[in-house]
Amino acid sequence: MKIRILSRNPRLYSTSRLVEAAKKRKHDVEVIDPLKCDIVIEKRKPNIYYKGGYIENVDAIIPRIGASVTFYGTAVVRQFEMMGSFTTTDSEALVRSRDKLRSLQVLSRAKIGLPKTVFTNYSRDVEGVIKQVGGTPLVVKLLEGTQGVGVVLAETKNAAKSVIEAFNGLQARVIVQEFIKEAGGADIRAFVVDGHVVGAMKRQGKEGEFRSNLHRGGSAEVFELSDEEEIAAIKATKAMGLGVAGVDMLQSARGPLILEVNSSPGLEGIEEATGKDIAKTIIRYIERNV
């Protein structure tokens, strides 16, 4: 089978592991930089021109599209779809997952548990916004932030007003969310492939840090999901239309609350924490669908 991985850096852990897993299962695999692809649009014969030639007869692609290149990366994924290639991440689902506000609206419509969230058009009624999420402490998130960047915990009313007003003054779009104290600075990442949870880990923020991202010094350990948490992860992935996803959730007094559904989840943390070959599972997902 001819598999192409869309990634800007073949040396990244996730990309190299997918290449390794595909080769072990005797597939023809290559890493393609999506930003170096030229999209050729014409009647009946959509094409992609790459490094001096046309890309043809690709059975499947695995998009590893970074947040900063979502627009062009998605266009390349869409072109492969038009050429008849199977993709582990649908182009529309990729766009949907990268829009934090839209994602929350989609999950809300699917009746999935979420932290209470408020989004406004730079409202001057900051006190009203704070009240809507149940007061302080609260969390302010940049809509474009990734890996914990642009996420601020405001512990007092004055701090919350200052942060929200500062972002509003910069014309930066933010969402304001309730702070889930009982989560204790930890969250759960459930890795879902083809409608099944294939691994889960609990990530704990370092001391004094409420963000649990591994990129920010957090630690991870294997975690056994409850039935309710597993159902929430699968339901959230299905609502987003993703074949492969990393679902981040908090444990709360009212059940699991989904924070985000990641369309390009990294493999390093989940494979190290669980000891499972997640890359192989993704390749087998392709084999079942092509």
CATH of the domain at 7: 3.40.50.20
Split at pLDDT 50, 70, 90, the class of 217 is: low
Domain count for the chain, please give it.
3
Residues 279 and 189 in one domain: yes
- pLDDT of the residue at 216: 54
Please classify residue 73 by burial: count the beta carbons closer than 10 Å to its beta carbon, then call 0-12 exposed, 13-18 middle and 19+ buried. Answer: buried
pLDDT in tens, 70-82: 999 999 999 999 9
pLDDT of 274 over the 80 cut:
yes
- pLDDT of the residue at 52: 95
Residue finishing a domain among 130, 153, 179: 179
CA distance 260 to 240: 10
Residue 111 lies in a domain: no
- pLDDT of the residue at 149: 72
Residues 46 and 131 in one domain: no
Residues 238 and 266 in one domain: yes
- pLDDT of the residue at 65: 95
Most confident listed range (22-36, 121-135, 161-175): 22-36
Q: Average pLDDT over the chain, rounded to whole?
A: 93
Structure tokens at 42: 């014409």
Residue 273 lies in a domain: yes
CB 17 within 8 A of CB 267: yes
CA distance 210 to 27: 42
Residue 165 lies in a domain: yes
Rg (Cα) of the chain, in Å, rounded? Answer: 20
- pLDDT of the residue at 43: 84
Is the model's pTM score more than 0.95?
A: no
Percentage, residues of the chain above pLDDT 90: 85
- pLDDT of the residue at 219: 79
Split at pLDDT 50, 70, 90, the class of 88 is: very high
Split at pLDDT 50, 70, 90, the class of 143 is: confident
Sheet containing 174-178: which strands, arranged edge to edge?
117-118, 174-178, 138-142, 151-154
- pLDDT of the residue at 207: 67
pLDDT of 167 over the 70 cut:
yes
Give the range of the structural domain holding residue 162, as residue numbers without chain letter. 117-179
